C-alpha cells in the first residue's frame, strides 16, 4: 500500500517537474527570435562538428593496453618473501611500479657506533615501518631509496601513475620520510552503452562497471614498498614500533 | 486528388508543409540546445563516484557517460511529437488535408530524429573536449580504445531510430488527445486507476504484485544483440506507431478549435 502511494507520489512529482520544465523551456524559446535561433543552431553545429578534431588534438591517446591482473595484497607477498627478493627483481616485477629512486648523501664520518643513523618509524604519529625493507649492501656508498607501489587498475587505467612518492631526508641524524597527502580525483568518460548495442560481451563489461563500480582491494596507499639500501660501513639503528625487515 | 485552387499534387503540398513546419518550429532547436547544455552539466556533475580514504589518502573516481544527453534528446523528441500533434488545430498553410498534415508531421519528426542522432553522436567528442579543459585528471575509459567506425555507426543508427520511436509515440498520444479531448483525459485517468487498482489487488489477493514493467519493455529492444532482428523489431514498432497515428488522424476534422 505504502509502496503504491510512493509510486503515485513519484509519478506526480515527475509529471510536475516535466510540465514545469516544458513550460519554462517554452517561455524561453518563445522569446528567442527565429534569426537568433538559426544562429544558435549554426554555432552549436559548428562547435559539435569541430569537437572530434579538437578532441583528437587535446585528449590523450587512450591506453589500449590490457590491464594486468594484479593479485590482491600483492605487496604483502613481497614483504613476506623479502629475504628472497632483490631490487632488480622488484624493478622487473610487472605487478609493481617503480616511483622514484632517491639518493641521499650521507657523511659517513659523522656516524659511529655511538651515534648511529636513526631510522624513523613514523611520520606525524602515523606508523610507516610496514612499508620498509632495509638492505645492507656494498653496492652503494650513500643511502638509496627506491620506491615502489603495487600497480592498481581502475577501469584498466593504471592509477599507480598518480601516486606521489614519499620524500626522504636526513635531519638530526635521523632518516625520515614525509608521507605526502595524496588526493587523487580521477574522472573518466566512458562511451554510451548503446555504442556496443550489437556487441554483447563489451556491453556487459560496461554494464558491470557502471552498476557495481569497482572494489579497490587494498587501499592503494598500503601498497607502498620502500626499498632502502644502506652502505655496509654505515652504522644505523632502529627503535620503534612495527615490523623490522633487514636484508643482510 | 489535386488541389483545385493551387493545382498542386498532395506531395508538393506536403513538401511545402514540411518546409513551413520546420521554419515555424525553428525554436525547437533552441530547446534542444538548452536541453543539451543541461545534459552536459548533469553528465559532469552526476558521474558515479566512489572513493576510499585513509589517513592521508583520498581517492575519488568518477565515471560519466553521454547517456544523459541521450535521455534529454528523447525528452526533446517527445516534446516535439506533442507540439506537432497539437498544431493539427492550426494548420493554415495552403490546402491541408489529413494526408498532407500526417505526411509532413512524420517527415518533420524523422528530420528531428536525424538531427538528434547526429548531434548526440558528436556530443561525446564535445564531452571529451570539455573534460580535458575543465578537469585535471581526465582520462578516457579503455572502452574508447575498442570503439571503431562500426560502433559510431551503431551509435548513430540506434540513437536516431530510438528517438524516432519516442517522437512518434508522443505524436500518437498527442493526436489521440487532440482528437478525443475530454474523452482522452478520462480514458487516461481510467487506465491509470485500473492499473493502480490491479497492482493493489494483485498484491493483496494474489500476494504476487503485477506491475507494468517498463524496464522489460526497454530490455526488449536494448538487449537485442542480433542486428537484423533488432532492426525488424524497431522498424515494426515505428510502422505500428505510424499506422496507429494515421488511423487516428484519418477522419479527423482539421480545423476543429
- pLDDT tens profile A88-143: 888 888 888 888 888 888 877 777 777 888 888 777 777 777 788 888 888 888 88
Average pLDDT, chain B: 80
Long-range contacts of the stretch A101-105 (C-beta < 8 A, 24+):
A101/A144, A101/A145, A101/A146, A101/A147, A102/A144, A102/A145, A102/A147, A102/A165, A102/A167, A102/A168, A103/A142, A103/A143, A103/A144, A103/A145, A104/A142, A104/A143, A104/A144, A104/A145, A104/A168, A104/A169, A104/A170, A104/A175, A105/A142
Lowest mean pLDDT among A21-30, A126-135, A239-248: A239-248
In angstroms, the CA B116 to CA B74 distance is 9
pLDDT of residue B253: 61
Mean per-residue pLDDT, A75-83: 81
| Chain B environment of A188 (Cβ under 8 Å) | 61-64, 138-141
Of B131, B147, B225, the CB nearest to A187: B131
Residue of B59, B142, B199 with shortest CB distance to A184:
B59
Q: What chain B residue is nearest to A31 in terms of C-alpha separation? A: B27
Give B49's pLDDT tier (boundaries 50, 70, 90).
Answer: low
Cβ contact, residue pair A216, B230, below 8 Å: no
Q: Where are chain A's structural domains?
A: 2-58, 74-247
Whole-angstrom CA distances from A189 to A59, B132, B153, B157 are 11, 10, 19, 21
What cell was used for B216?
522489460
Please report the residues numbered 175 through 234 in chain A whose beta carbons come closer than 8 angstroms to any beta carbon of chain B: 179-200, 202-203, 205-206, 209-210, 213-214, 216, 219-222
Provide the percentage of residues in chain B whose pLDDT is more than 70: 82
Helices (H), A95-225: 200-212
For A155, which of B55, B63, B230 is closest by C-beta distance?
Answer: B63
Is the CB of A8 inside 8 Å of chain B's CB atoms? yes
Among A212, A161, A195, residue whose Cα is nearest residue B143: A195
Contact A48 B122 (CB under 8 A): yes
Q: How many Cβ atoms sit within 10 Å of the Cβ of residue B139?
A: 22
Of B132, B140, B159, which has the smallest distance from its Cβ to A194's Cβ? B159
Comparing A61-65, A102-106, B7-11, B160-164, the range with the smallest average pLDDT is A61-65
Confidence at residue A6, expressed as pLDDT on a 0 to 100 scale: 79
The pTM (predicted TM-score) of the whole model is 0.74
Euclidean distance between the first and the last CA atom of chain A, given in angstroms as a whole number: 73
Rg of chain A over all Cα atoms, to the nearest angstrom: 28
**What's the pLDDT score for residue A213?**
44
Of all residues in chain B, the one with the smallest CA distance to A57 is B129
Q: Quick: pLDDT tens for B103-118.
A: 888 899 999 999 999 9
Q: A218 pLDDT exceeds 60?
A: no
- B125, B133, B222 ranked by CB distance to A52: nearest: B125
Residues above pLDDT 90, as percent of chain A: 0
Phi then psi for residue B48, to 5 deg, are -75, 125
Per CB-CB distance under 8 Å, the chain B contacts of A37 are 26-27, 29-30
Contact yes or no for A205 and B67 at CB 8 A: no
Q: Cβ of B147 and A195 within 8 Å?
A: yes
Average pLDDT of the segment spanning A25-31: 75
- Are A195 and B151 a contacting pair at CB < 8 A? yes
pLDDT score, position B94? 58
Q: Does the structure show a pLDDT above 70 at B163?
A: yes
Question: Quick check: B86 pLDDT over 90?
Answer: no
Q: What is the mean pLDDT of chain A?
A: 77
At residue B91, does pLDDT exceed 60?
no
ipTM over 0.90: no
Residues 56-75 of A with CB under 8 A from B: 58-60, 62-64, 67
Residue-level pLDDT at A212: 41
| Contact status, residue B88 vs residue B249, Cβ threshold 8 Å | yes
Q: Which of A13-22, A98-107, A201-210 has the lowest mean pLDDT?
A: A201-210
**A189 and B128: CB-CB below 8 Å?**
yes
Residues of A whose CB is below 8 A from B193: none
pLDDT digits (tens, 9 = 90+) for B196-227: 788 777 777 776 666 666 677 788 888 778 88
Q: Which residues of B touch A63 (CB under 8 A)?
A: 139, 142, 145
Terminal Cα distance for chain B, rounded: 26
**pLDDT band at A217; cut points 50, 70, 90:** very low
Amino acid at each position: 500500500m505504502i509502496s503504491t502511494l510512493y509510486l503515485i507520489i513519484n509519478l506526480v512529482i515527475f509529471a510536475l517537474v516535466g510540465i514545469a520544465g516544458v513550460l519554462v523551456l517554452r517561455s524561453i524559446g518563445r522569446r528567442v527570435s527565429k534569426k537568433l535561433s538559426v544562429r544558435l543552431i549554426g554555432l552549436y553545429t559548428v562547435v559539435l562538428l569541430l569537437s572530434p578534431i579538437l578532441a583528437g588534438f587535446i585528449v590523450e591517446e587512450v591506453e589500449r593496453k590490457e590491464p594486468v591482473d594484479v593479485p590482491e595484497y600483492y605487496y604483502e607477498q613481497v614483504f613476506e618473501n623479502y629475504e628472497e627478493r632483490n631490487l632488480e627483481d622488484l624493478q622487473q616485477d610487472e605487478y609493481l611500479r617503480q616511483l622514484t629512486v632517491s639518493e641521499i648523501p650521507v657523511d659517513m664520518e659523522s656516524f659511529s657506533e655511538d651515534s648511529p643513523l636513526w631510522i624513523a618509524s613514523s611520520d606525524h604519529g602515523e606508523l610507516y615501518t610496514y612499508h620498509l625493507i632495509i638492505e645492507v649492501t656494498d653496492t652503494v656508498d650513500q643511502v638509496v631509496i627506491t620506491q615502489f607501489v603495487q600497480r592498481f587498475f581502475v577501469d584498466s587505467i593504471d592509477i599507480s601513475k598518480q601516486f606521489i612518492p614519499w620524500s626522504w631526508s636526513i635531519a638530526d641524524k635521523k632518516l625520515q620520510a614525509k608521507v605526502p597527502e595524496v588526493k587523487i580525483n580521477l574522472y573518466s568518460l566512458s562511451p554510451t552503452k548503446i555504442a556496443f548495442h550489437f556487441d554483447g560481451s563489451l556491453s556487459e563489461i560496461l554494464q558491470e562497471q557502471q552498476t557495481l563500480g569497482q572494489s579497490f582491494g587494498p587501499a592503494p596507499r598500503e601498497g607502498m614498498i620502500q626499498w632502502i639500501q644502506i652502505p655496509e660501513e654505515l652504522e644505523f639503528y632502529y627503535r620503534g614500533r612495527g615490523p623490522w625487515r633487514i636484508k643482510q | 486528388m489535386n488541389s483545385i485552387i493551387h493545382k498542386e499534387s498532395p506531395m508538393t503540398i506536403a513538401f511545402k508543409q514540411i518546409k513551413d513546419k520546420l521554419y515555424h518550429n525553428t525554436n525547437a532547436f533552441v530547446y534542444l540546445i538548452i536541453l543539451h547544455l543541461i545534459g552536459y552539466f548533469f553528465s559532469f556533475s552526476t558521474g558515479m563516484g566512489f572513493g576510499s580514504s585513509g589517513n592521508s589518502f583520498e581517492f575519488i573516481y568518477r565515471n560519466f557517460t553521454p547517456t544523459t544527453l541521450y535521455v534529454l534528446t528523447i525528452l526533446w523528441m517527445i516534446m516535439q511529437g506533442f507540439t506537432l500533434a497539437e498544431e493539427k488545430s492550426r494548420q493554415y498553410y495552403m490546402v491541408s488535408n489529413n494526408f498532407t498534415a500526417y505526411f509532413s508531421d512524420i517527415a518533420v519528426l524523422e528530420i528531428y530524429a536525424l538531427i538528434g542522432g547526429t548531434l548526440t553522436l558528436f556530443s561525446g567528442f564535445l564531452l571529451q573536449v570539455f573534460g580535458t579543459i575543465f578537469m585535471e585528471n581526465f582520462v578516457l575509459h579503455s572502452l574508447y580504445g575498442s570503439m571503431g567506425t562500426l560502433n559510431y555507426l551503431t551509435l548513430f543508427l540506434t540513437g536516431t531510430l530510438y528517438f524516432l520511436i519516442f517522437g512518434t509515440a508522443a505524436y500518437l498520444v498527442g493526436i489521440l488527445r487532440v482528437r478525443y479531448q475530454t474523452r482522452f483525459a478520462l480514458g487516461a485517468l481510467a487506465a491509470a486507476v485500473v492499473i493502480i487498482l490491479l497492482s493493489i489487488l494483485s498484491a493483496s489477493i494474489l500476494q504476487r504484485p503485477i506491475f507494468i514493467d517498463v524496464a522489460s519493455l526497454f530490455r526488449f529492444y536494448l538487449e537485442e544483440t542480433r542486428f537484423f532482428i533488432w532492426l525488424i523489431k524497431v522498424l515494426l514498432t515505428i510502422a505500428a506507431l505510424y499506422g496507429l497515428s494515421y488511423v487516428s488522424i484519418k477522419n479527423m476534422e482539421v480545423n476543429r478549435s
